[in-house]
Structure formats: C-alpha cells, structure tokens
Amino acid sequence: MIFVTGGAGFIGANFVLDWLAQCDEPVLTYDKLTYAGNLNNLVSLRSDPRHFFVQGDINDQDQFAQLLEQHQPRAVLHFAAESHVDRSILGPATFVTTNINGTFHLLEATKTYWHKLPSTEKSAFRFLHVSTDEVYGTLSAEDPPFSETTPYAPNSPYSASKAASDHLVRSYHHTYGLPTLTTNCSNNYGAYHFPEKLIPLIITNARAGKELPVYGDGQQVRDWLYVNDHCAAIRRVLADGRSGETYNIGGWNEQTNLSVVHTLCNLLDELQPKKNGSYRDQIRHITDRPGHDRRYAIDARKIERELGWKPAETFETGLKKTVEWYLANDVWVNQVQSGDYLKWVDLQYSNKTEAI
C-alpha cells in the first residue's frame, strides 16, 4: 500500500485516480479537507476496496504514526499543502503551520516507522515530497530555465514555506538516511482544479459573464504542465528515482498569462459561443500581485535522461480537455463555488483597480 497526503486536492486526487486506474496497489488518502480538499474529487472510489480515506491534519503526528503502524505502507507521497500564492500574501500563517510544521511532523512520524522496518522493506521504502518550481524564485527573459542545481531564492510566503519543507526533507535524508525523493514541478492544469487558480478561474468567470482578472500587464511567464503528465512523472520517480535525489518536472511550455487567457477565450468561443462578441471582451487588467515572480521555466532534462519521462500532452490538447471537463462538470463547479469561495473572491478581487 501507499499513503497519499493531500489526496483530496487538485493534484493529489488526480494522482490517486490515475494510480488506481493503472494498478491495484491500495491507497490510503490522508487529508484535512481544508477549503481546497474535496471528497467529490474521489467520489468514483467511494465503494472501491482499494481506497481508504482518513481525515486528518499532517500536524497530528500521533494519528499519522498510528496509521503507519496499522497499514505498513511501502511509501508516503506528500502532496498536502497550502498551495495558493495570493492566499499566502493575505494570510501567511497557515502556510508556515501546514507546509513547514506539517512536513516536519510527517517526517518525524515516517522516520520512526521506517527505522523499525525489516531491512528489505527499509531499503525499498520511499518518502516522496511533492514540491514546486517556485522555490527557485524568478527568471529574467534571458535566463536559462531552473535546473536541479539552481540556488533556492523563494519570493512569496508560499514558495518560502515550500522551500523550507524541501530543506527539511533533504536534511532527513542526509542526517538520518531516510530514503527521500523530491519533485519540483511547474504550474499544473487539468480537471478538479480549484477555481482560485488562473486557468479554472478564467474558465468559470468567463462562463458566468464575469470579468477575467489579469494581474498587471499579463506578460508574466509560467511553464504549464497537464496534471496527468505530472502524475505520470511522480509514478516514474517513485518507481526508479534515486534515493535522496530531486527531479524537476515541467512541460517545456512557457506561456505569458495573457496568452493563456486568450487561448482559453478562443476555446470557449469555439465550444460555447456567446450570443454577442468574444469572451476576450471580459478581460480586465487589474492591480498586480505584490512581489509577483516574472518568469518560471523548468529544465526537465534530468528526469527524461534518467527515468525516460517526458510530457505526453501538448498545451493545445491538454487545455481543450480541461475546458471540456469544466463544461461537462457544472455540478462540481457549483459545489466548490460555495460560501467560503465567494468570501475569498470578494477579499481578493473587490478592491483591485484597473491596471492598464
């Protein structure tokens, strides 16, 4: 069996669904079910005997330790985190509590469990930490993409908390020998993406006839990867990654935010045309995010060279699948856009002014 923390969130849920579609090894999903965690993401597994769900906080070291003893997993895959940069700017405390303290407690419980394993299981065990390219900071247009040896230079409370958690994972390998793997991935998109993040926010706002908020000039660059490609990369790293190593994962797909928004508008104009005009008419440039990183880009040659992974989906095919998923899943969208979500949208967007 494997344990997946944060398996009710966007990437974690896609990972659990993919895993059980590919093999029969059971999964225990451990998730606090914060605003970002949603059991509806895993509803298709409700009566699947290969899937177990436990609601819990990664800071609850005792509960996690008991579960490890009880189920004896061969790996812990750690996705659980506070993940939204804008929320980290307005309220950094939970990012420290979950991403730093939570990862620490998870490592402590896992280290104790791992120490007691018989030698064969001990050497086969893995703690796989899912992290982000944002730990490397920001690039100028001329810089080469982030590689595994790029120095850490996190700029937001979110990326600083993820960087701290990466360092803790590194130290548990170096000091205690815990067999760890760390992946640093670029921006994901796909099904079950919570509509606070750019791509699902644009799709859902466009369909609701609302403004499409673009921060500043919209020329910031992100490297977008389809979520199922990320899941496939994690499976490859878990299977054959070298203990103690880090692997960068990316889509070789740099896009400006404005270009992403334009492509989404084009797709919606084609798949669900408005009565009058284009969805582009709803675009509004608003006050920029404080400390906004200008460009992220990933050099994903190490994972391709060592593990043979590269993305299967192009941005065009992946984005089309994503828009089609949102068009077909109104019930999911309506359910997540409930009271707490509306409060967030009000807090984040109501006092922003026109930028350009």
Determine the Cα–Cα distance for residues 72 and 124; give it in Å rounded to an integer. 13
Selection from 68, 76, 81, 198 nearest residue 131 by Cα: 81
Name, in order, each residue with C-beta under 8 angstroms of 114's C-beta and a sequence gap of 6 or more: 122, 125, 127, 178, 179
Identify residue 215 by its one-letter amino acid code.
Answer: Y
Residues in binding contact with ligand TYD, number by CB under 6 A: 12
Binding partner selected for residue 214 from ligand NAD, ligand TYD, none, CB under the kind-specific 5 to 8 Å limit? ligand TYD
> Residues 48-87 vs ligand TYD: string with x where CB under 6 A?
-------------------------------------x--
Shortest CB 98 distance to ligand NAD, Å: 4
Which residue number is nearest to ligand NAD in terms of Cβ?
9
Per CB under 6 A, residues contacting ligand NAD are 5-6, 8-12, 31-34, 36-37, 57-59, 79-83, 98, 102, 130, 132, 162, 185, 187-188, 194
First-to-final CA distance of the chain? 53
With H, G, I as helix, E, B as strand and everything else as coil, classify residue 94.
Answer: helix
Binding partner selected for residue 234 from ligand NAD, ligand TYD, none, CB under the kind-specific 5 to 8 Å limit? none
Closer Cβ to ligand TYD, 23 or 356, answer by number: 356
* Helix, strand, coil content of the chain in percent (nearest 5): 50, 15, 35
Among left, alpha and beta (phi > 0; psi -120 to 50; other), residue 190 is: left
Closer Cβ to ligand NAD, 113 or 282, answer by number: 113
Shortest CB 282 distance to ligand TYD, Å: 12
Any catalytic annotation for residue 215?
Answer: no
Closer Cβ to ligand NAD, 249 or 268, answer by number: 249
Binding partner selected for residue 263 from ligand NAD, ligand TYD, none, CB under the kind-specific 5 to 8 Å limit? none
Binding partner selected for residue 6 from ligand TYD, ligand NAD, none, CB under the kind-specific 5 to 8 Å limit? ligand NAD
Residue 169 corresponds to which tokens in the numbers above?
């994972």
Any catalytic annotation for residue 134?
Answer: yes
Selection from 32, 65, 332 nearest residue 192 by Cα: 332
Determine the Cα–Cα distance for residues 154 and 296; give it in Å rounded to an integer. 12
Residue 214 binds to ligand TYD (criterion: CB under 6 A): yes
Element (H or E) spanning 130, and its range?
Answer: strand 126-132
- Catalytic hit among 113, 158, 172, 189: 158
Any catalytic annotation for residue 133?
Answer: yes
Residue 55 corresponds to which tokens in the numbers above?
């609601």
Which amino acids are annotated catalytic?
133-134, 158
